[in-house]
Structure formats: C-alpha cells, structure tokens
Amino acid sequence: MEIKINMTAREIDYLCNTASPNFYHEQSDRFEVMEDENEPAEGGQLFWCGTEYLNAKIVAQFYRGSLNADTSIMWDLDLEEWAVWVAVESDAPSLDEDLH
C-alpha cells in the first residue's frame, strides 16, 4: 500500500523532538536497526521521533525523497523511542527550510 503526503520541512521538524550528530557506531548496542533497514554509515545526523513508528517512517521517507539521502529507522533502547539516521551533515538544509 502506498500513501502520498505532501509535507514541508517545517512540518517534518514537528515530528522530531531531538537531533544530534550520528553516534551510532560508538553506541551500536543502544539501537535496534529495523528489519529491511541498513546499518547507519559513519557521519550524518540522528533524529528522534517519539514512540510512534509512523513519525519515524515519514521522516525517513521525507529525506529519501527530498534529498535522496540514505536513512535508517532504529529503536533507541535507552530512550525507548524511534530514531532515524539520515546521511546528511549539519550543514545540510535546515529543517526550517522548505525542500521541493
């Protein structure tokens, strides 16, 4: 099933509560990478999306579609919420900017 939703970068920002430079490889035992997802590479950013999987899925799809970025959806065992790794650096377009 496919659902299409048009969202701005600002709206995507509302789905994330925290962002951080990627530290997956320093604390890989903290995360469970979802089935059918790749392990995060070095670099990029982590975005936390709360306890609703749909938020993480939308964030990952947004970055895949808007920036053609690699992403990975993971469960953070410490914070007990979904995290999304995105292969963008901190100098990438801000979530406050609209991407088309």
Would you state the pLDDT for residue 4? 87
Contact yes or no for 41/87 (Cβ under 8 A): yes
Cα of 62 vs its chain's centroid, Å: 9
Cα–Cα dist 4/51, whole Å: 22
Would you state the pLDDT for residue 3? 84
Contact yes or no for 69/86 (Cβ under 8 A): yes
User: What does each of the 100 residues of the chain score in pLDDT, given as a tens digit?
Assistant: 888 888 998 999 999 999 999 999 999 999 999 999 999 999 999 999 999 999 999 999 999 998 899 999 999 999 999 999 999 865 444 444 444 3
Contact yes or no for 17/50 (Cβ under 8 A): yes
Cα–Cα dist 28/7, whole Å: 31
Cβ burial 25-46 (10 Å sphere, 16+ → b, else e):
eeeeeebebbeeeeebeeebbb
Rounded to two decimals, what is the model's pTM?
Answer: 0.85
Would you state the pLDDT for residue 90? 56
